[in-house]
């Protein structure tokens, strides 16, 4: 059941691209997966698409994307076809993931035999947070991206901030508030937020990405609705001080010796770079490379690699910064271990601007996954 260094398909590497999932970033994952699959050179890679429905069923084979975009409930049963649909369930044979209903383990026996690498293109909880990574570790299969620890810590914004602070990485002021504490005494929590952070501030679920559940709060009157929204996605809520700053992003690539791309700048069309700005409209400006001084460019690269190392990441990450307009300080905002790979996503754009086109980038990520697996096997 371990990943192998060879391949059975004329020297090609067999890559299972895993996408979809149960999180609210399901649709973003589908778009990213299409980009990744299209970029994997068919002369070098044999791609096996593996989709996870919103209900948690795993599917493989032709027509997976059609089924994942269906609005009908879709539950797969081992050895058969999904009820009411024509996609064949993936049997436990060479190069296929066993289909399982939610609550069942779908990786048993020869479930991953013949797959050289798994390329997770999952965003958000149950995909980017160490859960799938732990499953693949148990299956002893190489996979793209950070391991269990790095994925889990980076996904949790509050815990990531604690670790980055311990490593001396500069950040803006922030607070963590539990949903239970807010619901028990919103007045006390609100007074603490107002006195320690002030307004405007940003309210976010601790474990979510793509700006899902994020609100900009201009005054105390807007706080209850923002806390309620964030609380729909997680039991822990992160509140960050609002900054007058430019938004700078850097892509990092590598394992033990990571390197940073050129920096890019996001100029949101609205008040902040929300979900619609990232994936629906193209009104925001994405400036690559960012207009930075040589000193600023060097510092943002250094901090990006330092944050990557502090969180024990591997493969890839996008590190998001604030560059304060008044002080010129660079502050790390978030670190994303499975950044978007859509046609307008910053991670592939930053590497393209750094001289690494998308086909080379995804091939390099597969190589890094295999190298990391071999190192861990030592």
Of all helices (H) and strands (E), which one includes residue 359?
helix 358-377
Whether pLDDT at 164 is above 70? yes
| C-alpha closest to that of 334 among 163, 177, 199 | 163
**350 lies in the same domain as 251:** yes
Does 3 fall in a domain?
Answer: no
| Rounded distance between C-alpha atoms, residue 36 and residue 369, angstroms | 15
Most confident of 14-28, 49-63, 86-100, 300-314: 300-314
**209 lies in the same domain as 288:** no
Does 161 fall in a domain?
Answer: yes
Residue ending a domain, among 223, 241, 259, is 241
**100 lies in the same domain as 19:** yes
76: Cβ–Cβ under 8 A, 6 or more apart, which residues?
Answer: 53, 57, 58, 59, 82, 89, 99, 100, 101
Structure token digits, residue 178 = 């539990």
Please report, for the domain that includes residue 70, its CATH number.
Answer: 3.40.50.20
Please report, for the domain that includes residue 218, its CATH number.
Answer: 3.30.1490.20
What's the total number of domains in the chain? 3
The CA-atom distances, in angstroms, between 282 and each of 4, 36, 215, 240, 288 are 42, 21, 20, 26, 15
Does 1 fall in a domain?
Answer: no
Whether pLDDT at 194 is above 60? yes
**281 lies in the same domain as 229:** no
For the residues 116-121, what does the mean pLDDT come to?
A: 94
Whether pLDDT at 195 is above 70? yes
| Rounded distance between C-alpha atoms, residue 364 and residue 356, angstroms | 10
Does 6 fall in a domain?
Answer: no
Model confidence band, residue 55 (pLDDT cutoffs 50, 70, 90): confident
The reported pTM is 0.83
Backbone conformation region of residue 109, classed left if phi is above 0, alpha if psi is from -120 to 50, else beta? left
Does 313 fall in a domain?
Answer: yes
């Amino acid at each position: 059941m371990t990943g192998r260094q060879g391949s059975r398909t004329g020297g090609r590497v067999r890559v299972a691209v895993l996408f979809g999932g149960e999180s609210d970033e399901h649709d973003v994952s589908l778009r990213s997966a299409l980009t990744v699959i299209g970029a994997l050179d068919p002369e070098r890679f044999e791609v096996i698409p593996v989709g996870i429905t919103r209900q948690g069923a795993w599917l493989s084979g032709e027509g997976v994307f059609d089924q994942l975009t269906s609005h009908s409930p879709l539950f797969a049963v081992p050895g058969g076809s999904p009820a009411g649909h024509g996609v064949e369930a993936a049997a436990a044979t060479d190069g296929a993931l066993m289909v399982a209903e939610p609550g069942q383990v779908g990786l048993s026996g020869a479930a991953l035999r013949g797959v050289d690498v798994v390329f997770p293109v999952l965003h958000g909880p149950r995909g980017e947070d160490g859960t799938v990574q732990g499953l693949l570790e148990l299956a002893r299969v190489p996979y793209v991206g950070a391991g269990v620890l790095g994925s889990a810590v980076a996904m949790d914004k509050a815990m990531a901030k604690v670790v980055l602070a311990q490593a001396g990485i500069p950040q803006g002021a922030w607070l963590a508030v539990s949903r239970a504490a807010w619901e028990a005494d919103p007045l006390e929590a609100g007074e603490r937020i107002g006195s320690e952070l002030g307004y405007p501030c940003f309210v976010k679920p601790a474990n979510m990405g793509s700006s899902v559940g994020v609100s900009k709060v201009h005054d105390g009157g807007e706080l209850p609705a923002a806390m309620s929204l964030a609380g729909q996605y997680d039991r822990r809520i992160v509140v960050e001080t609002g900054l007058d700053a430019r938004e700078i992003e850097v892509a990092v690539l590598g394992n033990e010796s990571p390197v940073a791309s050129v920096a890019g700048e996001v100029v949101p069309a609205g008040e902040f770079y929300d979900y619609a700005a990232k994936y629906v409209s193209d009104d925001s400006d994405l400036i690559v490379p960012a207009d930075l001084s040589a000193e600023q460019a060097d510092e943002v690269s250094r901090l990006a690699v330092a944050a990557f190392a502090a969180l024990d990441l591997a493969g890839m990450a996008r590190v998001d910064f604030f560059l304060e307009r008044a002080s010129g300080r660079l502050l790390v905002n978030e670190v994303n271990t499975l950044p978007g790979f859509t046609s307008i996503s910053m991670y592939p754009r930053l590497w393209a601007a750094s001289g690494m086109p998308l086909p080379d980038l995804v091939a390099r990520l597969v190589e890094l996954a295999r190298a990391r697996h071999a190192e861990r096997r030592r």
